[in-house]
Structure 1
């Protein structure tokens, strides 16, 4: 039995986020964050050789986390984008520092991913999450890497089996 690619991708994304959502709920840790969405989408919609797979996904997010943390500690330390923009005024030094932190995080991440061949564009959201102070501690960085590894591991161990058994693997990678 096979089903429509669009529906199968929806089923696969559901499996990924039920798993991580339950882990986040049970642990009380931020195992769900915005950049996991594009990564789960890539895995759910079929094999993308330049952006999918453990090396690309885990490696890309790890590089992004390290580069974002480095940029944040160098330029934006102590600031959180939601707080800064809550009371921001034009030309504030806080907004300027976060803008530079984001720029530095993106440049470092882009160069490092290209040099390492990880090429996982979704990780660019991770570097901004970290560089803008949303998840910018060493513990947060560890949570990011563990969460990404759990997502990839769950995909490889469980979602792939469901795809094979029930015919819900997209035939046309997007």
Structure 2
């Protein structure tokens, strides 16, 4: 990359913008614009692939990535593993309750579906701290799966691909903004017991 291009990118560094404008305004615009751009990109991928690259838990994931990018819960480690735990726990709960092949019905939730949701959320909420991968939006992901909204292996692969894409977007955007966003996890998070 030429020096001129690097200088042009420096305009987008948060630190530089915060010297000229109120920090709160800069951070609000940064979070809002980048969350919007990230989800629009995923929506375009969903439209052209006809696959579920857009689902509710990506909203709070985008918020964490751009509002609190240096929080442990926003690190790639926590984002990717948290959602993976949610997907696997949701799928496991569907399998245990015999609902893998049952279409979702949000208007008539029966005891098996309620059990699947409770089991999935309990496993997700228990495993994330155990594996040091807390990412609150994964609680939504596990319910999406346990409710049967995304339940086929193809859907689950696409779901995780969408999480990888938004995490990669967060990495690139936060680094371009001059933030020390981690490649995998925050140094302090890796050192915690």
Question: Normalization by structure 1: what TM-score?
Answer: 0.82
Aligned equivalent of 1:77? 100
Alignment of 1:54-73 (within 5 A): 54-73=76-95
Aligned-partner Cα distance in 2 for 1:84–1:123: 20
Mapped contact 1:84–1:95 kept (Cα < 8 A): no
1:31 is aligned to 2:21: no
Aligned equivalent of 1:168? none
Aligned-partner SS, 1:51: helix
What CA deviation, in whole Å up to 9, does each residue of 1:84-138 have, x standing for no partner? 52xx3xxxxx611110000000111111111111000110000000011100111
- Report deviation, 1:162: 4.9
- Report deviation, 1:46: 2.6
Q: 1:25 to 1:161 in 2, by over 3 A?
A: farther
Runs ≥4 residues deviating over 4 A: none
Name which of 127, 141, 154 aligns with 1:112: 127
Extract unaligned runs of 5+ from structure 2. 1-15, 179-193
Aligned equivalent of 1:150? 165
Aligned equivalent of 2:69? 47
Mapped contact 1:35–1:125 kept (Cα < 8 A): yes
How well do the aligned residues superpose, as a CA RMSD in angstroms?
1.8
Aligned-partner Cα distance in 1 for 2:106–2:175: 45
Extract unaligned runs of 5+ from structure 1. 89-93, 165-174
Alignment of 1:130-149 (within 5 A): 130-149=145-164
- Report deviation, 1:163: 2.8
What CA deviation, in whole Å up to 9, does each residue of 1:133-153 have, x standing for no partner? 100111111111111001101
Aligned residues: 156
Which one has a bigger Cα radius of gyration? 2
Mapped contact 2:91–2:100 kept (Cα < 8 A): no
Aligned-partner SS, 2:44: helix
